[in-house]
Structure 1
Amino acid sequence: MLQTTESLQILGLSFMGKLIDEGLIDVACQVPSLRTLDASDNEFGTIDDNLLRSCSQLTELNLSFNNLFELSEHSLRSITQLRNLYLHGNRLSKLPLAIRGLSTLEILDLHFNIISELDCLNFHGLTRLTNLNLNNNRISRLQRCVFQDLNDLKVLNIGQNSLFTFDNAFNLNLWNLESLNLHNNGNLNLQQGDFSNLSSLSYLDLESDRFHWIYDGAFQGLDNLQTLILSTWKYEKELFRGLPLLETLTLYLNFNTLKKRSQQNGEPPFSNLPNLKKLELRNDNGLHDVILPDLLRGLKYLEYLITDNFFRKTVHPDTFKYTPQLKSLQITHSHLSYLDPELFWPIPNLQELDLSNNMFPSLDFLAQANLMALSSLKLTENQLSIINGTVFQSLPALTYLDLNDNPLTCACSNAGLNQWVLTNNQTQVVDGYQYTCAFPVSQQGNRFLDFDIHSCWVDANFLCFISSTSLVVLTLLTSFIYHFLRWHLAYAYYLFLAFLYDKKTRKKGTPDHYDAFVSYNVHDEAWVYRELLPVLEGQQGWRLCLHHRDFEPGKPIVENITEAIYGSRKTICVISQNYLQSEWCSREIQMASFRLFDEHKDVLILLFLEDIPAQQLSPYYHMRSLVKKRTYLSWPKAGQHTGVFWMKISQALETAESPTEHTHLLTGNPHFM
C-alpha cells in the first residue's frame, strides 16, 4: 500500500513495534516522495547500518523516545539530504559518531539524554547547523573548542545540565549565535569577557534554582542583547553595564545573600538600561530588601513591570514617577492591603493591572487612582468581602475583571457590586456566575449572583411620596404658625430673655436705680419732654429712666431695655398709635409684662395718649388683658383736669408693688384711679 502512495511526504510510524523489525521502515523509504519520517516510540535500543539504508531522500528524521543508547557510526551515512534530526528522550551517553559529517544538518535535538561530556570533534562537519539542543543532560564542562565548527549556529540550548565553567567555549566561532539558553545549571562563575564575542546574541537565559556568581562586566560585548533572564543575589548598576539594547529583563532574586541594594551605593540599579521595555522581578526567598523609591529611575520607556514577592506590604507613592509609559503592572504575593492612589497618577496609560495574591480588604483606592485607560484588572486571592460597585465607574475602559477566590459577602452592603456584575455590558467578569458567598454563615456556598438584592432597595415611589408629603405638611405648618402664632412665639421669646435676666438680678440682689422707666415712641418724645418730664421729675421729684438720656452707649438695645425695666420700680408705657406699631416699644411692654407676671408686682403703668379701640390693639395687648392690673390712665379723658392726671400718676408711683385689687385694663372700659 505504501508503494502505491507516490505523493506521500510525511509518514508517522510511532508505536509500530514488531513491524519495524519486519522491515516496515525499509518499505516506507521506497516511496520516492517521502521527506519526513517519524519513527519515535518504537524501543529500538540500537540502530545498525542497515535500518535506514533506503531513506536517502529524507530531510527530517525523528528517532525520539526509542530507548536508544547507540547508533552505529554509518547508520545515517545514506541520508545525504538530512536537515532535521531528533534524538531526544533516549539513553545516549555521548554524541553518536553517526552525526559527524552530516553537512546538510540544520537542527539537531539531543535533549533529555544522559550525555556527560563533549569533545572537540563531536560536531565536526556540521557547518550548516543552526539549532542545537543539549538541554537536560549531564554535561559538567565545556571545552574551548567544542563549538569550533558551528559557524552558522543561531540557537543553542544547553540548559539543565551541571555546567560550572565555560572555558571560553562561547568565544570561538559563534559570532552568528542569537539565542543561548543556560538555565538551571550549577553555580556558574560568570567572569568579564565570558560572552564578549557573542555580538549577535539577542537572547540569554541564565535562570537557575542556584544563584550564580556574576562579576561586574560579565555581559560586556553583548551589544545586541534584547532579552536577559538571570538568577542573581544582587542587582546593581554595574552588573548591567554593556547592554545598551536590552528590552526585556527577568531577575530571580535571592535577598538571603551577601548584598542587598539597601547596603550598596544607592545608585538606581537599572539606569544603564535606557531601552528596557519589560522588567520582571521575582523574589525566590522569603526575605525582602528595602525597596527604594528610585528603583525604576532611568526606565522612561518601560511598558511592562512584573513583580512577585518583591514589594513587602507597601509601595512608595513615587515608585512609578520614572515610568510614564507603563502599560502593564503586576504586583503579586506582596502582602499588600492598601495602595496610595497617588502611586498610579504618573502612569495614566496603564492598561493592565494584576494585584492577585495580596491582602486587599477594599478597592476604594482605585476610585482616586485616575486609571482612565485600564482595561484589565485581576484581583484573585485577596481579602475582598465588600466591594463598592461605584469603584468600577471610575474605570471607564475596563473590559476584563477577575475576582476569583475572594470571601464575598452576600448582603445588602454588596448589592451595588451584585447589580453591576449583572447589568454591565462592557466588562467581562471572569467566572462571575461561579462566585460563592463566604459570609454570612447562612449564605455560605450559595452563588453570589443568586443573592436577591431587591429587598435592599427602598421603593422610590414611596420615598418620593413621603418626601413630598412631609414638605407640604411642613409648608402648611409654617404658614399656620406665622399667621396665627408669630406674636405668641415672639412674646414667649422675650419672656424667656426677661426670665434669664430676672434670675441673674435676683441672685445679685440689685437695688432699684430709678422710680420708673418711661417707654415711649420717638414720635411722642415731644410730649414726654414737654408735659411728663417737667411734672414728674421737676415738680414731684421722681427719678425717671429715658431712652436717649439714660441708656448706656454701645450696649445692645435689648440689654439696655431689660436693665432699665428691672432697674426701675415701675414702668410707664406711653401708648399711642405710633407706639403700637413700634417693634422696640412692643418689646419693652412685653418685658415689663413678664416682670408683672413672674414677680406678681404691680410694676406696669399704662398711659394712653390717644383713644384706641380695643380691636386695634396688637396681639401683645390682647394677651396682656389676661393679666389684671389696676393702673390705667388716659390723657385725652383727663381734659383740662391735668392736675388730677399727674396726681394719679404720682399715686401710682407711690403704690405698693403687691396689688390689692384688679381691674380689666385693656377692655374698652378703662377705670381711673
Structure 2
Amino acid sequence: MNLVKVPRYIPTATKYLDLAENRIASLQKSSLDHLLQLQVLNISQNSIRDIAEGTFGRTKNLSYLDLSYNRLTSLTKGMLSGLGNLTVFLLNNNVIQSIDLDAFASLVNVKSINLNSNMLHRLEEMSGVFNAIAAETLHIGDNGLVHFSTQNIPIVPKTLTELDVSKNPLVLCNITTDVLGSLLSLDLSSVGGNGSVVLHVAAGSCLKGMKKLPLGGIHMAPPEIRALLASIRNVSLEDIQLNNLQLQATDPLLLEICILHQNLRVLNLSGNSLNPLNGDGVFRPCVHLEHLDLSMNKLSSMSSSLFNNSVALRLLSLASNELTVVPEAVLGACGLESLDLSFNQIGRIDPQDFATLGKLKRLLLAGNKISRVAPSSFSGLFELTELQLGNNYLLEIANFSSDLKRLTTLSLRRNKLNFIQKHTFIHLQNLDCLNLIDNQISDLHEESFEGLSNLKHLLLGSNRLTAGILRGYIFSPVKSLKDLQLFDNCLTYPSSKKLDRAPFTSLKSLDHLAINSQAHNGLQHFPVNLLEGLDSLKELHAGNIAISHIDPNTFQYAPNISFLDLSNNAFKSINFSLLLHLPDLIELHLNKVGLQNLDFLKQARLINLKLLRATGNQIGLVNPAHIKAMPSLTFLDLRENPFMCACDNSWFQNWSLSGNKTQVIYFDRFTCTYPPNLKGMKLVNFNSNSCLIHFEFLLYISSSTIIIMTILVSFAYHFWRWHVVYAYYLFLALIYDSNRKRGRNERYKYDAFISYNAQDEQWVLNQLLPNLEGNNEWTLCLHHRDFEPGRPIIDNIVDNIYQSRKTICVISRHFLESEWCSREIQVASFRLFDERKDVLILVFLEDIPPDQLSPYHRMRKLVKKTTYLQWPQHQEERALFWLKLRTALKTAENKDESPLLSGIDSGPQC
C-alpha cells in the first residue's frame, strides 16, 4: 500500500498484522505501542534501516516476527528488547554486518532464527545469536562466510538441533569441538564458492547425534565427499542429500555410500548424471533405504535387477527423466508404497509393469505420453489409493481394473478425452475424487459414473459439456457427491424459466458447486429452479456467466448457501429479496457487477455475513444503514469504486479507520471521482473536520439560550404577567371573532351573558334570576345551565358572549381571583373594542379598592366610561338598582348611555 510508516488507525485488538511490501524506512518507539495484543507481525520487503530502542517494548505477546528483505545493518539488545515471547524470528536478506553479543540474550523463547543472505562474513560477528538459549533451528547460510570453525563458537544452545550453513563460500570448515553435539542436521549444501572447500570433522563424538547431512551442490570432488563421509562413520546418518553433484553411475561414492552408513534411510541423488544406471550392486548394500530420489538424472535405461533385494524401499522417485517404458527394475522393489514416474516419455502401460508391486499405494504417471489405458493396465495393484494420469495423450479410457477397489484419487486432467463410456469407473467403488478437468468431453452416458457410490469430488471443469447433456440422469449414480466443478463448459439456457427437470435434483449431499466461466460465455440465463434439490449446498461459484438477472426465488432451492460468488455479471442492481432466502450467507462476492449502491443490504438480513467483496462497481457512498445490516462483517473489500470525497462519506471514512471489528481491505487505495476538483484524491486523505458537528459548542449555545430565555420568561411573568395573559386571550378572541364574522347573525339568542364566580352563585340564583327572568322579561345565559356539554370551555364562552346582547359581570373579590371569569371579561372586552358597542355591564357586589382591580378592568376605563352598578346593602335602595339594571339592558348597543345611568360617581371605576 506504499505505506511509509505503521498506520495509527490499526485497531488496538489486532493480533495478526501484515505490512509486507511497503516503503517503511524505520520503526520508532511509538510505531507499535498501541498494538498490545499483537502476536504475528510480517513487515518484510520494506526499506527498514533502523529500529529504535524499545520499539517492541509493549508487544509482549509477539511470537512471530518477519523482518526479512529489509536494510538492517546491525542488531542490538535495545533494538530487540521486549521480544521475550518470540518463537520465530526471520531476518534473512538484510545487510546485517554485526550483532551485539547480548542482542539475543532476552529472546529466551525463540526457537527458529533465520539470518540467511546477510553480510556476516566472520563467525565472530554472529556469535551473539548463539546466546538465544532456546534456539532449535538456526539459518546462517549465504552470508559470505569463508571460515567456519567450532573453536570460534564458545557456546551453543543445547536445544539447537538444526544448523544451516549452506551457500557460504567456505574455504575451510573445521568441526573439532563438541559444541554442536546436539545437532540432528547440518546443512552444508552449495558451500565452497569458486574453489573447493576443505571440510574437516574430528574423529570422536563432536557430531555424535547427527541424523541428516545435506551436501547437495557442495563444491567438493566426489573423492573428498567420500573421505568426509568416511571420517564420520561413527555418526549414525539416516538422511544424506547428494543432489546436483554431477555424480556418475560408476562413481565409488555411489557404490560405497550405503557401506559407509549402513543405517541410511533417505538418499537424494536427484540432478546428477546417472544414466545409464546399470550397476547391479549399486543399492544392494542399502538394506535400510526407504526413500530414494533419482529424479532429473536423464535416465533412459537401468538394470532390471537394480532394486533387487531393496525390500525396505518405500518411496522411489524417477520423475523428470527420459524413460520410455516403465522400467523393469521397479519390480525388484516389491515393498514400494509410492512410485513417481511423472514427466518421462512413457507411451504405454502393460499389465506386467507393476505385477509385483502389490503394496503400492501411490502411482504418479502424469506428464507422459500414454494414449490408452486398458482394463488390465493396473492389475494386481490391490492397495493403490492414488493414481495420477494427468497431462498425457489419452483419447479414451476403457473400464479400469477391478483390482483398484481401494483407489480413492484418480486424476485424468489435461488429456484429450471427449466421451466417457458407461461403466468406465464401475469397479472403483471407493473412489473419492475424480479429476477430469481440461479435456474435450462433450458427451456423457447416463451410466458414465455408475459404481461411484462413494464419490465426493467430481471435477469436470474446462470441457465441452452442454445443458442438454445434464438434463438426464447423469448424476444419479453419485448421490454422495460433495463437490461438483462444471466451470468453463458450454452450459447455456434460453431463458430463466423453470426447467422441466433440474440437473442436480439427485445431489442431496452436494455442498460445493462451480459453474463459473473465464470466457464470459456461460449460462447467459439462470433458470429459476437450476439449484433444485441442492438442500445441502454451501458454496456456489457463478461468476462471469453472462447473466443480467436472477429470479428472486432462485435461492429458495438452496437456502443453506454460505459462500456466493456472482462476480463479473452485468446486474447493475441486486434485488434484496434474492438474498432473503440465504440467512446463513457468510461470504458474498459481487465484483464488477455494475452496482450503483449497497442499498440492497438494508433489507437483505445478512446477519451472518463476514466477508463482502464488491470491487470494480459504481459505488460512491456507504452509509451507516449499509453496515448496520451486516452486524458480523469482518472483511469489506470495495476497491476500484468511484467514491465521493464529501461529507456524506465522512462517516464511512471515520468508521473504516477506527473500527475494531471490520477490516476495510486496502482502504488506503480508495480514490474519489467526485467532486471534480478532488478527483483522484484518496478517500483516506479527505479532510472531514468541516463535516463534524461540534456538540460541545452546540451544547454551550443551547444551555446559554435556555438560561437567557428562563430569565426573560421569569422577568416577564413577574412584571408583565397580566399584560401577556390579556394579550393571549385577546388574540384567541380575535381568532374566534374572525370565524364568527363569516356567518354572523344579528339576531341574538340571549339578552345577557352572566359572568360570575361560583362563590357568588347564590346571589345570582336568589337575586338576579328572579328579578330579570321572572315573568319571562329577560333571557339570561348561565354557564352551569346553558353551556353545551362536551365542547371546550373557551369555545362555549366565546360563542355565548357573542350570542348575547349584553354581558353582565358580577364582580367580587372571588371573581377577580377566578381564571375563567378573567377569560370571560377579556372576551367581552374584545367584543367591545371590535364592535364598538356598549355591551358590557359591571355589577359590583362589594367595595373593592382600585389598586386591587386587575389591569383588564383599568384598561376598560382608558377606552370608554361604561355602565357600572353597585349592589346596595340597604333593602330600600335595591328597587332603584333593579330599575337601573333593566334600563341598562334596554339601552341600544350603539346609542349613548341613558341619562339615568350617566355621570354616576359612586362605586369603583374601571
Change (3 A) 1:117 1:96: closer
Cα separation, 2, equivalents of 1:416 and 1:25: 76
Aligned runs of 1:191-590 on 2, under 5 Å? Answer: 191-208=421-438, 210-231=440-461, 232-234=465-467, 238-243=473-478, 245-252=480-487, 254=489, 256-257=491-492, 264-266=499-501, 269=504, 271-274=506-509, 276-283=510-517, 285-290=521-526, 292=528, 295=531, 297=533, 299-300=535-536, 304=539, 306-309=541-544, 316=552, 319=555, 330-334=565-569, 335=571, 337-338=573-574, 340=576, 343=579, 347=583, 354-360=589-595, 378-388=613-623, 400-425=635-660, 429-485=664-720, 487-508=722-743, 510-513=745-748, 516-521=751-756, 522-528=758-764, 530-533=766-769, 535-536=771-772, 541-542=777-778, 544-547=780-783, 557-590=793-826
Cα distance in 2, alignment partners of residues 267 and 239 from structure 1: 11
Q: Which AA in structure 2 matches 1:3?
A: R
* Cα distance in structure 2, aligned partners of 1:151 and 1:315: 50
Q: 1:359 to 1:99 in 2, by over 3 A?
A: farther
Which residue identity does 2:866 align to in structure 1?
A: R
C-alpha separation in 2, matches of 1:163 and 1:666: 134
CA shift in 2, pair 1:314/1:443, >3 Å: farther
Aligned residue for 1:84, secondary structure, equals strand
Relative to structure 1, the CA distance from residue 328 to residue 535 in structure 2 (aligned partners, 3 Å threshold; closer, same or farther) is closer
**Alignment partner of 1:176 is 2:411:** no
Q: Name whichever of 504-513 and 328-337 sits farther off.
A: 328-337
CA deviations on 1:527-559 (whole Å, 9 max, x unpaired) are: 445544555555895555454665556665444
Which residues of structure 2 form unaligned runs of 5+?
A: 1-223, 231-236, 259-263
In structure 1, what is the equivalent of residue 242 of structure 2? 11
CA distance in 2, matches of 1:382, 1:272: 35
CA shift for structure 1 position 260:
8.8
Aligned residues between the structures: 652
Normalised by the length of structure 1, the TM-score is 0.78
Match of residue 625 from structure 1: 861
In structure 1, the gaps of 5 or more residues are none
- Would the aligned equivalents of 1:665 and 1:671 in 2 still touch at CA under 8 Å? no
Counterpart of 1:78 (choices 306, 328, 336) is 306
Distance, in Å, in 1 between the alignment partners of 2:713 and 2:733 is: 26
Distance verdict in 2 for CA 1:666–1:459, change over 3 Å: farther
State the shift of 1:11 in Å: 1.9
Matched, 1:88 2:320: yes
Query: What is the CA distance between 1:599 and its match in structure 2?
Result: 1.6
Q: Report how far residue 114 of structure 1 moved.
A: 6.4
Q: 1:207 to 1:668 in 2, by over 3 A?
A: farther
SS in 2 for 1:60: strand
Structure 1 residues 281 and 269: alpha-carbon distance in aligned structure 2, compared to 1, 3 A threshold: same
Correspondence for 1:143 among 374, 385, 404: 374
Per-residue CA distance 1:562-582 (angstroms, 9 max, x = gap): 343333333232322333333
- 8 Å contact kept, 1:330–1:354: yes
Partner Cα separation in structure 1 for residue 800 and residue 540 of structure 2 = 83
Structure 1 residues 99, 207: CA separation in 2 closer, same or farther (over 3 Å shift)?
Answer: same
Distance 1:611 1:387 in 2: 78
Contact 1:629-1:664 within 8 A present in 2 as well: no
Structure 1 position 462, deviation (Å): 1.9
1:602 aligns with 2:838: yes
CA distance in 2, matches of 1:508, 1:603: 20
Whether the aligned pair in 1 keeps the contact of 2:418 and 2:439 (CA below 8 Å) is no
**Counterpart Cα distance in 2 of 1:259 and 1:268:** 15
C-alpha RMSD of the superposition: 4.7
- Secondary structure in structure 2 of the residue aligned to 1:610: coil
Cα distance, 1:194 vs structure 2: 1.7
Query: Can you list the C-alpha shifts for 1:468-526, whole angstroms capped at 9, x where unaligned?
Result: 22332343344445555554454344434443444455444512335731323244454
User: CA-to-partner distance for each residue in 1:321-379, whole Å, 9 max, x for gaps?
Assistant: 9666x66555544547447499479756x665555454555557667777776665555
Once residues 297 and 604 of structure 2 are traced to their aligned partners in structure 1, the CA distance between those partners, rounded to angstroms, is 55
Structure 1 contact 575–609 (Cα < 8 Å) conserved:
yes
Change beyond 3 A, Cα 1:183–1:263: farther
**Residues 71-121 of structure 1, C-alpha deviation per residue, up to 9 Å, x if partnerless?**
35x55653544852434376x7x5366668555465554545666665656
**SS state at 1:148 partner:** coil
* Aligned-partner Cα distance in 1 for 2:808–2:884: 13
C-alpha displacement at 1:625, in angstroms?
A: 3.3
Q: What SS is found at the alignment partner of 2:435?
A: strand
2:471–2:503 contact (8 Å) kept in structure 1: yes
The correspondence for 2:827, drawn from 563, 581, 591, is 591
Mapped partners of 1:260, 1:174: distance in 2: 44
| CA shift digits 1:278-324 (9 cap, x unpaired) | 44443563334435479375645x65555534686558478379666
Q: Which amino acid counterpart does residue 605 of structure 1 have in structure 2?
A: I
Aligned residue type for 2:504: P
The alpha-carbon distance between structure 1 residues 668 and 206, as it changes in their structure 2 partners (threshold 3 A), is: farther
SS of residue matched to 1:606: strand
Cα distance per residue 1:170-210 (max 9 Å; x no partner): 14432232211122444533344221101232211122364
Which deviates more from structure 2 when the two are superposed, residues 210-219 or residues 104-113? Answer: 104-113
In 2, are the aligned partners of 1:517 and 1:564 still within 8 Å (CA)? Answer: no
Tell me which residue corresponds to 2:205.
none
8 Å CA contact 2:339, 2:364 repeated in 1: yes
State the SS of the aligned residue for 2:407. Answer: coil
- Quote the residue 1:190 is aligned against: 420
**Does residue 32 of the first structure (1) align with residue 263 of the second (2)?**
no
Secondary structure of the corresponding residue to residue 239 of structure 1:
coil
2:885 aligned with 1:649, yes or no? yes
What CA distance in whole angstroms lies between the structure 1 residues aligned with 2:506 and 2:700? Answer: 66
- C-alpha change, 1:181 and 1:625, in structure 2 (3 Å) is farther
Contact persistence 2:645–2:675 (CA under 8 A): yes
- Say if 1:294 and 1:543 are closer, same or farther in 2 by CA, change over 3 A: same
Q: What SS is found at the alignment partner of 1:517?
A: strand
The separation in 1 between residues aligned to 2:715 and 2:506, in whole angstroms, is 79
CA-to-aligned-CA distance 1:261-291 (integer Å, 9 cap, x gap):
96544568255443x4544443563334435
Q: Secondary structure at the match of 1:419?
A: helix
In structure 2, the partner of 1:158 is: 389
Percent identity (aligned): 36
Q: Distance in 1 between matches of 2:493 and 2:349?
A: 35
Question: Quick check: 1:321–1:346 contact (8 Å CA) kept in 2?
Answer: no
**CA pair 130-297 structure 1, distance change in 2 beyond 3 A:** same
Aligned-partner residue type, residue 693 of structure 2: V
1:583, CA displacement in angstroms?
Answer: 3.5
> Partner amino acid for 1:146?
S
What SS class does the counterpart of residue 746 from structure 2 fall into? coil
